[in-house]
Amino acid sequence: MKVLFDKFDTHTHSNISDGANSPVEMIEAAAAQGLKVFTLTDHFDIHDRFPAKLSPFDGAGQEAVYTRLSKLKQREFGTKFLKGIEIGQAHQFREVAADWLASHEYDFVLAACHIIRGHIDFYHMDYEKNHPDSLLKQYFAELIELCEWGGGEKFDSLAHLAYPLRYMRGLGSLDNHKAAIDKLFKVMVKHEIALEINTGHAVVCPELEQVARFSELGGRLITIGSDSHSVNTIAQRIHEGVRVAKAAGFTECVYYENRKPCFIQI
């Protein structure tokens, strides 16, 4: 299916995980802004304590939450509401991740790696004690592992490729990791995993160079999401993501419904 519109958001969070507003508030705000498609992708960051001691970052991995979102799918909001999930570190906890995804139905599964083995979230790291290039080397190795495991069957898109750079404050660079990124993109292309353009920070993530390289290596699936955590930032800078996608040679991006890509002309 192909459609033409520019009001959509495929990556958002509510207070089910670490967002500020309820799912209904987020959906209603999206409808009020005139979004044609709105996907809620609350966090299920799997960790070694799961299912005990749940944190805001794994709120989506609860049966009551899943049931709640399923009921919202039956309501009319004035926007197409799609039920998604952002699943973190699935490759580190494969059995938990595979069991959850096999037993629950989503429109869209977004995969992320916020925490590499032996460390805490990049958001909290002390980069004077942890060498950025070493961390990035491990990060990209784990993204390759994640995509080889996921294989395009367990998830649809890879979130915020350069996530660690958000918090390294200029200390890290992708220049020393181009070979690893190429290897990652080839795995993604092989398994038809989409690359997300994330517009929720000061710099679109990933930047034009990486999006263009993904295209050069045969990537054809791009998702664009704001990573919004409140009603005030829904669809924030989506137009910037579209600009980057076009500059990289893409004429379409996708959203997912019933785990199938739906193409949007841009």
How would you write the pLDDT of the chain (266 residues) with one tens digit per residue? 555 566 999 999 999 999 999 999 999 999 999 999 999 999 999 876 655 566 778 889 999 999 999 999 999 999 999 999 999 999 999 999 999 999 999 999 999 999 999 999 999 999 988 899 999 999 999 999 999 999 889 999 999 999 999 999 888 899 999 999 999 999 999 999 999 999 998 789 999 999 999 999 999 999 999 999 999 999 999 999 999 999 999 999 999 999 999 999 99
The residues pairing with 110 across neighbouring beta strands, listed in sequence order, are: 86, 157
What local confidence, expressed as pLDDT, does residue 108 receive?
A: 98
Q: Are 17 and 71 in contact (CB under 8 A)?
A: no
C-alpha closest to that of 257 among 108, 53, 66? 108
pLDDT at 130: 87
Would you state the pLDDT for residue 162? 93
Tokens of 254: 């996708």
The conformational region for residue 259 under phi > 0 = left, psi -120 to 50 = alpha, else beta, is left
CATH, residue 181? 3.20.20.140
Tally the domains of the chain. Answer: 1
CB 137 within 8 A of CB 177: yes
Neighbours of 58 (CB within 10 A): 21
- Among 232, 256, 252, residue whose Cα is nearest residue 84: 256
Does the bond joining 206 to the residue before it have cis omega, within 30 degrees of 0? yes
From CA 258, how far away is CA 144, in angstroms rounded?
A: 25
Cβ neighbours of 72 (radius 10 Å): 14
**DSSP character string of 58-103:** GTTSSHHHHHHHHHHTTS--SSEEEEEEEEESGGGSHHHHHHHHHH
Domain with 189 in it: 2-265
Instruction: Return the axis-axis angle of helices 208-216 and 238-247, rounded to nearest 10°.
Output: 50
pTM, two decimals, is: 0.95
